[in-house]
Amino acid sequence: MLPRSLIRLRVVISHLRMAQMSTKSGEEILFQTVNNTGVITLNRPKALNALNLSMVRKMYAQMLRWEEDPSIGLVLIKGEGEKSFCAGGDIRAVTEAGRKGDQLAQDFFREEYILNHKIGVYKKPYVALIDGITMGGSTLDTDKDFVLKPHLEKINKLFAGQTMEKIFDNLQNDKSEWAKKQLDILKKMSPTSLKITLRLLLEGKTRSLAEDLTVEYRLSQRCLEDRDFYEGVRAVLIDKDNNPQWNPASIKDVSNSKIDWFFSPLDPKKELVL
């Protein structure tokens, strides 16, 4: 016998399929109630349902209302269209704002992380119907975890290094085709971002969600002050030449002091408050 929660979810999905709510409206995010379920629809299919600041604000406000509404027992989020659930944040808009020194670059990440925290500590079940492209910060989410299993032993061994230099050495010395492929991929990435990511993963093991989001917000603001962020966006989203010119160009040239700067606290007035 199916659990009651799963039966309820199936009923909600069935109602959604029959719902007459128009996703052709100009609204970029839609809200409706189906039985005792609050339903959020990301409605920017042409932009792969990427979130902008207006959507973040509306979603946060609606989630606060539903959290205190006794008639709502579940919140469900889905993406409009057949191609994407959500491609993360609207990086183009943030990039343009960052170049101009516009407040949007700060506001978007701050309010997005406040929303992320609310989702993480939400008092009611929160279900995402993930179907299609799903990214956050350009990392891909997939249900196909079995793809990793043939390589899991190598992953645990070769990526166990505490520095990117050690991980590069492990991959270089392994000599397998799989390791060579991973090394080739990593060499295309920003050396600075690789070191930031590794440190974030290592230190994040002992942090709470709120602490992690606070650190990540600091990183978002520091990245907006560093050229590699804009160079990556240019190479992938604007010129699409996939030939970024990183500075520094090698992990050996990325100093610990530079990485320390990325993780350093912001001005107290600019810190994320959760």
- Domains of the chain in start order, with CATH, are 4-140 (3.90.226.10), 148-269 (no CATH)
Instruction: Work out the mean pLDDT of the chain and round it to a whole number.
Output: 89
Q: How far, in Å, CA of 75 to CA of 72, rounded?
A: 8
Q: Could you read off the pLDDT of 58-95 as tens digits, one per residue?
A: 999 999 999 999 999 999 999 999 899 998 888 888 99
Q: How far, in Å, CA of 155 to CA of 241, rounded?
A: 30
* Two structure tokens written together for 201: 């993963």
pTM of the model: 0.84
Q: Is the peptide bond before 248 cis (omega within 30 degrees of 0)?
A: yes
* Two structure tokens written together for 124: 């009611």
Long-range CB pairs of 119-122 (<8 Å, 24+ gap) are 119/63, 120/209, 121/209, 122/63, 122/67, 122/75
**For residue 90, what pLDDT is reported?**
87
Percent with pLDDT over 90 in the chain: 74
Q: Could you read off the pLDDT of 187-238 as tens digits, one per residue?
A: 999 999 999 999 999 999 999 999 999 999 999 999 999 999 999 999 998 9
